[in-house]
Structure 1
Amino acid sequence: MKHSTRWLGTVGALATASALVLTGCSSGGSGGGSTDDAGSSGGGLTPITLQLQWSAQAQFAGYYAAVDQGFYKDEGLDVTIAEGGSDIVPQDVLASGDVDYAISWVPKVLGSIEQGANITDVAQIFERSATTQISFKDKNITDPADLKGKNVGSWGYGNEWELFAGMQKAGVEVGDINLVQQQFDMNGFLAGDIDAAQAMTYNEYAQVLETINPATGNLYQPADLNVINWNDVGTAMLQDAIWANTDKLASDTAYADNTVKFIKASIKGWAYARDNAEKSAEIVAAAGSQLPAGHQLWMTNEVNKLIWPSTNGVGMIDEAAWKNTVKIAMNTKNETGATIITSEPPATAFSNEYVTKALAELKDEGVDVMGTSYTPLTVTLKQGGE
């Protein structure tokens, strides 16, 4: 997870010192009601805590929508959303038993699993990667091979693996570039100190397009940029997934049943975010996100593109994509020659058992879990993301 003074984390929210919470007891409201203690239950609902990777923002719009619209409550769950922070590693919080579920990227969790975290990917929400490497057109960087000899920005902290894998696939080793520790904003890129910078489609890419081009006096445009998309290169890795406690899935029937319910309501929330992007951005803003309104809507729209249309139903873990992520994690080397993991993860690292049940119930209820006809919005950005 990367951190910023303005847009923080891989997800890019403003820093907050504490983990804020949003409870599922207040449905249909602003999405930011007060909460009781995480261990309490209201109205006979089962208390559940979800740990996010970072602060409230539209990267997590589906979960906030599920709270706001009462989808968790409909499943008998009183869901509290715990925001992340600079000192919070979601998978570690989950593995320690402090929360019931967590959101994190697969490659980051694979490393934790190898170190002893006994957790399972039970729903792969993001089907596509949002990580890109962007450059200005005059740098003539159109594919990974062109990165050789260039100043290449990376946040590190586990965000660099798709970049390194794409480079190495093209025959470019880490030592062949000038690897720049990219700060957690786009200032170095805009100043010309970084030739190719890391950028999430839903965050840093938009930051550039929300900035005035001094040569024209207008905002930068997509035509000013070249974008290397790791989905196109073939080195994309699985990102946001719902993780559950492996031991509890095996030994606690109630927890296993609640996992199906939690996944079901979460997917319903993502379907709502798909069909109501503007309202979902408002829900996240009401939950405490400090991102500007225009940037928040852009993020909602771009995150929807990572989910919809779904190939096999939202949350289903594609084994080919999983194996590719594991392969990259085992074979791609960083600047010290280290890899994320040294051996195959255990079979319990992912399971489609629970999401399959959730999808079946959603289909019976008439919820569109495929989004075949999904069409993204056209979002017009303004200076500073307003």
Structure 2
Amino acid sequence: MKIGLRRRHFLGLMAAGATLPLTTRFAQAATPFAFQASWINDAEFAGYFAAIDKGFYAEEGLDLAYLSGGPDVIPESTLIAGKSDLTLTTPDTTIKAIVEQGAPFKIIGAQYQKNPIGIVSLVSNPIKTPQDLVGKTLAVPPVNVVSVEAMLKISGIDRAAVTIVPYAYDPTPLIKGEIDASLDFTTNVPFTISQQGVEATSFLLYDFGFTIFNDTVVVTDETLAGKRKEIVSFLRASRKGWEENLKDPAAYPPTFAERWFKGTGRSIENEVFFNTAQKPLIEAPGGIFSMSEEAIAANIEALAAVGISATREMFDTTLLEEI
């Protein structure tokens, strides 16, 4: 999956503005806007990197501060602390915060129409369905246990029938046969395992009833009221960046090797695999970030299976109508 921390990147319009007359530069001063990513710099965020490098945010009048994430970063907390204007989250954690803590969040878009999180196992000991997990040991990151429990419940499987142990985003125990499967990003980990000379197989929780988005785009009610224009500009530029990146998933990762991806310890071949695998999970008939009424209803139903009471009012699709 995704490991480590990265530095912050603050990008502005200085270079572009230097070629403009002084009056134009001051008249068109960019608006600061901070975006908190949900993890380290990998292909999960390739569309945003493309949008930055192509100048799409600058064209929208935004001075974007891109904040890298990592295991020690709680995206929603950066909104509450005022460190970011917008972030990416998982809808289960965000909606739990709204319901249980009264958090002033609004979900305004979804990067992943289908959540890329799934069950990864080895071809030599395949786990192809939730039923195959009965009597097996599954490693799950603590933050994702609720998702696995939801899938098991929806599939009619007793939670006690599966041994769930903590997972630290390292496929080594799976490769060594110490566990039977792990919960991870299916867009990434199978490639990592293959590099060890072992073939992996996987399935999405989404395909077995836990039909939720991932990397939901979230803002606070206050930011939504005060920076609506900037949020729409961010969505418009980001959509352009993702469309550009996904034209050819193999094209952009090599250009990020010494900049955005530097220091991750992963190969560019890995990032190309990731970028290619995520394309069908991101693209949608309504456009990137879209949330159809059917998809929202599916999210609400899936979350209800684990006692998370989502409502339609927690999702705002009106900004997407403006891009």
State the shift of 1:345 in Å. 4.3
What is the match of residue 8 of structure 2? 20
How far apart are residue 175 of structure 1 and its match?
Answer: 1.1
Following the alignment from structure 2 to structure 1, what is the Cα–Cα distance between the partners of residues 178 and 322? 50
Q: Could you list the per-position Cα deviations for residues 292-321 of structure 1 after superposition, in whole angstroms to 9, with x for gaps in the alignment?
A: 21111112212222112x122211112332
Alignment partner of 1:227 out of 202, 205, 208: 202
What corresponds to 1:116 in structure 2?
A: 102
Q: How far apart, in 2, do the equivalents of 1:265 and 1:63 lie?
A: 8
Measured in 2, the distance between the counterparts of 1:63 and 1:270 equals 7
Distance change (3 Å), C-alpha of 1:149 and 1:103: same
SS state at 1:161 partner: helix
Distance 1:331 1:284 in 2: 40
Alignment of 1:82-231 (within 5 A): 82-114=67-99, 115-139=101-125, 141-157=127-143, 159-212=144-197, 220-221=198-199, 225-231=200-206
How many Å separate the matches in 1 of 2:156 and 2:214?
Answer: 25
CA contact (8 A) 1:267 1:315 kept: yes
- 8 Å Cα contact 1:121-1:243 kept in structure 2: yes
* Residue of structure 2 in register with 1:280 after alignment: 252
- 1:249 corresponds to 2:214: no
**1:138: how far off?**
4.3
Q: Is the 8 A contact 2:119 2:202 kept in 1?
A: yes
Corresponding residue for residue 378 of structure 1: none
Paired residue total: 310
Question: How far apart in 2 are the matches of 1:107 and 1:27?
Answer: 41
Distance 1:26 1:172, change over 3 A: farther
| 3-state SS, counterpart of residue 35 of structure 2 | strand
- Tell me the secondary structure at the aligned position of residue 241 of structure 1: strand
- Over the aligned positions, Cα root-mean-square deviation in angstroms equals 2.4
Counterpart in the other structure of 2:211: 236
* Distance in 1 of aligned mates of 2:136 and 2:15: 51
CA distance, structure 2, for counterparts of residue 344 and residue 307 of structure 1:
22
Q: Which runs of 5+ in 1 are unaligned?
A: 1-10, 29-40, 213-219, 333-338, 359-386
2:302 to 328, 338, 341: 328
Query: 1:288 Cα shift?
Result: 4.3
Contact 1:150 / 1:195 at 8 angstroms: preserved in 2? yes
AA paired with 1:319?
E
Residues 121-149 of structure 1 deviation map (CA, whole Å, 9 limit, x = unaligned)? 11212111111212234435331112111
CA distance in 2, matches of 1:277, 1:27: 28
| Alignment partners' CA distance in 2, 1:282 and 1:355 | 31
1:123/1:24 CA distance change after superposition, 3 Å: farther
Cα distance between partner residues in 2 of 1:44 and 1:138:
59
In the TM superposition, residue 226 of structure 1 has moved relative to its aligned partner by 4.1
Pairing partner for 2:281 from 306, 310, 319: 306
Q: Shift of residue 22 of structure 1?
A: 4.1
Q: 8 Å contact 1:26–1:68 — kept in the other structure?
A: no
- Separation of aligned partners in 2, 1:19 and 1:110: 28
Q: What is the TM-score normalised by the length of structure 2?
A: 0.87
Q: CA distance change for structure 1 residues 197 and 80 in 2, over 3 Å: closer, same or farther?
A: same
Q: Please give the secondary structure, in 1, of the residue aligned with 2:111.
A: coil
Q: C-alpha offsets along residues 140-192 of structure 1, whole Å, 9 cap, x if unaligned?
A: 533111211111121121x2334322222232122111112123210110111
1:344 aligns with 2:319: no
Structure 1 Cα separation of the partners of residues 93 and 152 of structure 2: 20
Counterpart CA distance in 2 for 1:242 and 1:283 is: 26
Distance 1:78 1:209 in 2: 40
Separation in structure 2 between the aligned mates of residue 109 and residue 44 of structure 1, nearest angstrom = 33
Letter aligned with residue 306 of structure 1: L
Structure 1 position 193, deviation (Å): 1.1
Q: How does 1:74-89 map to 2 (within 5 A)?
A: 74-89=59-74
Shift of 1:327: 3.0
Report sequence identity in percent.
Answer: 23
Q: Cα gap change, 1:42/1:112 in structure 2, threshold over 3 Å: closer, same or farther?
A: farther
User: Residue 248 of structure 1: CA displacement?
Assistant: 3.0
TM-score (norm 1): 0.74
Mark the CA change 1:140 to 1:119 in structure 2 (over 3 Å): closer, same or farther. Answer: closer
What CA deviation, in whole Å up to 9, does each residue of 1:329-373 have, x standing for no partner? Answer: 3332xxxxxx5x3x33471x2111111110xxxxxxxxxxxxxxx
In structure 1, C-alpha distance between the alignment counterparts of 2:89 and 2:78, rounded to whole Å: 11
DSSP 3-state at the match of 1:139: coil
Q: Does 1:65 align with 2:50?
A: yes
